[in-house]
Structure 1
Amino acid sequence: MSTSLSVTRIGHACQLIDIGGLRVLTDPWFTQTATYYQGEPVFSRVEDLGRLDAVVVTHEHYDHCDLDALVAGGFDLDTPLIGPGTVATIARDKGFRDVRVVEAWEATTVGELTVTATPGKHGVHEVTFVIQAGGRTVFFGGDSLRVPELDTIPERFGHVDLAILPTNGLCIRPLNLQQVVMDAEEAAGLTAALKPTLAVPHHYAFHSGQLGDRMITKGDQDPRHYADAVARLAPEIEVRLVLPGIPVLVP
């Protein structure tokens, strides 16, 4: 029997991944500000997360690195926090005591869990992650653009059981609509290359408020565009659109 694998979206890119009882929290975001709105209910409070084996953080943007919320919620600061150097500096300043720095293709282990940073590209320095344990492999795409190196993940790591990808194609209006996140079509193309058993989109409900949506950001909030693109490019791959708080079991 294969190792159990499930994922529960807390909200946005904050996911709770469980591999055979090893629990990993990704890109924590539990609060909001005047220009950062979740756009959907946040499933859990920090206080209700329970024991975690690790936290992985792709980059330092507030909606992916809400470490203040973890500290305020009484989070165990001995929990290993894994991310690039830019994140590590912030985490140490917040009081995290077991901070692991990984850059692209570097790995660290927490017990039976292996976390490997993979390339990413965004408005700031970002990595993505391959998370493995018990013969299971998860790709977590943060809010990266699609970069060619990600297509090599199956060659490097073997079969991908679960791919979690951003899909909103976020563009920054003051920067002449510079795109900083892969869009639905690009995410579908990466999905076709990764060939996961199951694909789950995220990072689409976020918005910048009524004023911010007109002046700061532009993005696609409909994950069905991704599902439709995967159905066209790789119809053999199952896509699951998931509300916050609904556990998804991966075959």
Structure 2
Amino acid sequence: MTRGPSAGGIGRRGFLKGGIAAAVSLGLGVPAVRATGNDALRVQRLAWAGIRLQLANATLFVDPLIDPNIWASALADPMVAVDDAVGDSYVLVTHRHPDHYDASAVAAALRNGGTLVHAEGTSFHPLPANVRERLSPPWEPQLLGDFTATPVPAVDGYGDRQVSWVVSAGGRRIFHGGDTMWHGNWWRIGRQFGRFDAVFLPVNGARFSWRKPASDESAVLTPEQAMSAATILGARYLVPIHYGVSGAEGYAEVDDVLGRLQRAAAPGGPQVRILRPGEWLDWD
């Protein structure tokens, strides 16, 4: 369901490309052909859990964060600007928590217009001017120009509604996990979508003490759980996100996050690729 100004026609070429992308996203056996040159997909890590997917004439963000006040001094990540989107612009949001839905980041990313895409049953208002809204039912592919994005199950540490995103574009398929916990749908997602070029997964095993009675159980994937999820998904690369908070009241990460993640890697399995905010993933 789309609200706001009309998205306009996509044309025969766009329709055919979107149909192929949808088939790939649905796991219908269409092989992923690696794109090169202007059709290739580039992926940049942003602050905290955010990423940018870049095509020659289109930009898609997932959970962009630019407001330094969200974590204040507890997060050392530099904020990466998102007001320079190229071509058609889209923002996917995994859930409403302010470290994943930063209204100022959405407004900056879509300052020239575009589409905010989120799970059906969640609400993000007021919308910035000239921004369309698309509500996405679970497992239903969304054709966003040359991107195809599908919301899949995730589990939030608070029990709030959350999704992860599968995105196909430029001959690549990536997964963004938001801040999900371990859950039983990893196998279903892996069977449905096949192998992933890269998965961006939370790894800090965060524990919250402000919910009472408090629990010592991790409410976000631990490094070892993230590696297990990446293995089930058939990932080529595992890029860790959602880590690096220290000193936030009532919020604690596991120790040695990146060291534990690297030690969990096994020969022949997903390769760990650590990107600092602002860095781009090198597919080779």
| Gaps in structure 1 of 5+ consecutive residues | none
Provide the aligned length of Structure 1 versus Structure 2.
241
Q: 2:136 aligns with which of 89, 98, 102?
A: 102
Task: Please tell me whether residue 115 in structure 1 is matched to residue 149 in structure 2.
Answer: yes
Task: Please tell me whether residue 133 in structure 1 is matched to residue 169 in structure 2.
Answer: yes
Indicate how the Cα distance of structure 1 residues 68 and 147 shifts in structure 2: closer, same or farther if over 3 A, else same: same
Task: Please tell me whether residue 41 in structure 1 is matched to residue 78 in structure 2.
Answer: yes
Query: 1:58-95: CA deviations, max 9, x gaps?
Result: 00011110013443x484263111111455x2145444
Q: 2:181 aligns with which of 129, 139, 145?
A: 145
Q: 1:55 aligns with which of 91, 100, 104?
A: 91
Task: Please tell me whether residue 76 in structure 1 is matched to residue 111 in structure 2.
Answer: yes
TM-score, normalising length: structure 1 = 0.85
Cα offset, 1:51, TM superposition: 4.2
- Spell out the pairing of 1:150-189 with structure 2 (5 A cutoff): 150-175=186-211, 176-177=214-215, 178-189=217-228
Cα offset, 1:128, TM superposition: 0.2
Q: Matched residues in 1 for 2:51 and 2:78: separation?
A: 14
Q: Which residue of 1 aligns with 2:278?
A: 245
Q: Which residue of 2 aligns with 1:230?
A: 265
Indicate how the Cα distance of structure 1 residues 34 and 127 shifts in structure 2: closer, same or farther if over 3 A, else same: closer
**Higher helix proportion, which one?**
1
Cα offset, 1:97, TM superposition: 3.0
Cα offset, 1:34, TM superposition: 6.9
Q: What amino acid does structure 2 have at the position aligned with 1:113?
A: F
Q: 1:5 aligns with which of 14, 23, 41?
A: 41
Q: Matched residues in 1 for 2:49 and 2:133: separation?
A: 20
Report the 3-state secondary structure (helix = DSSP H, G, I; strand = E; otherwise coil) of the residue aligned with 1:25.
Answer: strand
Query: 1:105-125: CA deviations, max 9, x gaps?
Result: 122111221100000011221
Larger CA Rg, structure 1 vs 2: 2
Cα offset, 1:11, TM superposition: 0.9
